């Protein structure tokens, strides 16, 4: 198991190194002069050059990359030209909002996806299966930005059932900061009104962000359940007269979860990337909205930091999936 873990950790490090190279090169060859944008339209050439020298933008590209990598090893993600803050300080402010949205959405997607998949397989070719199949196809086919705008117009602006954006009502103050997650912090402080408001604001962006994942997990779980139900050991268990619920819980579910776990790990990574769009539509103050605002200003360091964080979470999610593989199927440990 130790060798298995070391191999996966080395793969994570190699992946992150490749990501830093790609992100750095792409962000620095795109058109635009961040120093000129930061200086403003009335700045002189001398002022622009001072900003360029301050942020090492006048150095050759390999030298800039070496400075960037050295900073990463020291825990320094650079400085934002737009805010003039250390990017790490900005990330500490915006990241909890994104993680709260992603964790809540991921839990919703896993629970609903696995439940819908089991129901669709158990009631195969019935109206339940057809209805869930229609929902899953719609979740995959409907563009997330279109769904976000339509639900925002219908449920928030027209019907007034849910808030159109933000994390809390305008008249409310955030709970005392403990974890940065408004739900957890409000519960810890006993502020039930704040907890209800935070949950109410979370529902609409979470529903939009979870729709592709619920659809994908439902389809995968249904297919894996049906495939496992046709195995000989399941047929033998039925022939022995074991209750259907016991067969599903004991024999079918664990084996059917192995391919689904991989999909869940991948969906977690894609969900982090999807927050850029959802946070922009719903004005959710997370790293996605931070990255969009920085990219408009050609502020490279925050964009690279957000991309690196998403890539790191993606790699760690795959590492967790590999470890869960070893738990669900011990043969994988020796692969």
* Rounded to 5°, angle at Cα 227 from 225 and 229: 65
Residue 86 pairs in a beta bridge with: 79
Answer yes or no: are the C-beta atoms of 118 and 229 closer than 8 Å.
no
Helix 87-122 / helix 300-328 crossing angle, nearest 10 deg: 40
The encoded tokens of residue 71 equal 């900073």
Structure confidence by residue, pLDDT tens digits, 179-223: 889 899 899 888 899 999 999 999 999 999 888 888 888 888 888
* pLDDT class of 308 with cuts at 50, 70, 90: confident
Structure confidence by residue, pLDDT tens digits, 83-135: 778 888 888 889 999 999 999 998 998 899 888 988 888 888 888 888 888 88
- The percentage of residues in the chain with a pLDDT greater than 90, rounded to a whole number, is 7
Topology at the third CATH level for domain 96-285: MetI-like fold (1.10.3720)
In terms of average pLDDT, the best of 36-40, 60-64, 143-147, 327-331 is 143-147
Distance CA 201, CA 237 (A): 47
| pLDDT over 60 (residue 332) | no
pTM: 0.81
Q: Where are the domains of the chain?
A: 96-285
Q: What is the mean pLDDT of residues 286-298?
A: 83
Structure confidence by residue, pLDDT tens digits, 34-86: 666 666 666 677 777 777 777 777 777 788 888 888 878 888 888 887 777 88
DSSP for residue 218: H
| Mean pLDDT estimate for the chain | 81
């Amino acid at each position: 198991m130790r060798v298995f873990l070391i191999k996966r950790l080395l793969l994570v490090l190699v992946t992150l190194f490749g990501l830093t190279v790609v992100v750095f090169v792409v962000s620095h060859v795109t058109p635009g002069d961040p120093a000129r944008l930061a200086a403003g339209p009335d700045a002189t050439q001398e002022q622009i050059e001072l900003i360029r020298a301050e942020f090492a933008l006048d150095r050759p590209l390999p030298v800039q990359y070496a400075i960037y990598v050295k900073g990463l090893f020291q825990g320094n993600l650079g400085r934002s030209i737009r805010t003039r803050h250390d990017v790490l300080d900005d990330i500490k402010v915006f990241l909890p909002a994104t993680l709260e949205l992603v964790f809540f959405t991921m839990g919703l997607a896993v629970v609903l996806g696995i439940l819908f998949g089991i129901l669709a397989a158990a009631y195969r070719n019935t109206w339940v299966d057809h209805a869930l199949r229609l929902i899953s196809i719609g979740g995959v086919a409907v563009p997330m930005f279109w769904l976000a705008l339509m639900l925002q117009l219908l449920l928030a602006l027209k019907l007034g059932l849910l808030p159109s954006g933000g994390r809390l009502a305008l008249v409310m103050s955030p709970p005392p900061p403990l974890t940065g997650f408004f739900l957890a912090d409000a519960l810890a402080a006993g502020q039930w009104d704040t907890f209800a408001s935070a949950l109410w604001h979370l529902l609409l962006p979470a529903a939009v962000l979870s729709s592709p994942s619920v659809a994908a997990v439902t389809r995968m779980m249904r297919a894996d359940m049906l495939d496992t139900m046709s195995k000989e050991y399941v047929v033998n268990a039925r022939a022995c007269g074991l209750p259907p619920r016991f067969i599903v819980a004991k024999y079918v579910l664990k084996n059917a979860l192995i391919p689904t776990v991989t999909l869940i790990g991948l969906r977690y990574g894609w969900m982090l990337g999807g927050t850029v769009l959802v946070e922009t539509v719903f004005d959710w103050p997370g790293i996605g909205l931070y990255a969009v605002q920085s990219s408009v200003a050609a502020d490279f360091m925050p964009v690279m930091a957000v991309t690196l964080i998403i890539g790191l979470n993606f790699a760690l999610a795959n590492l967790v999936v590999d470890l869960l593989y070893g738990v669900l199927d011990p043969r994988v440990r020796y692969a």
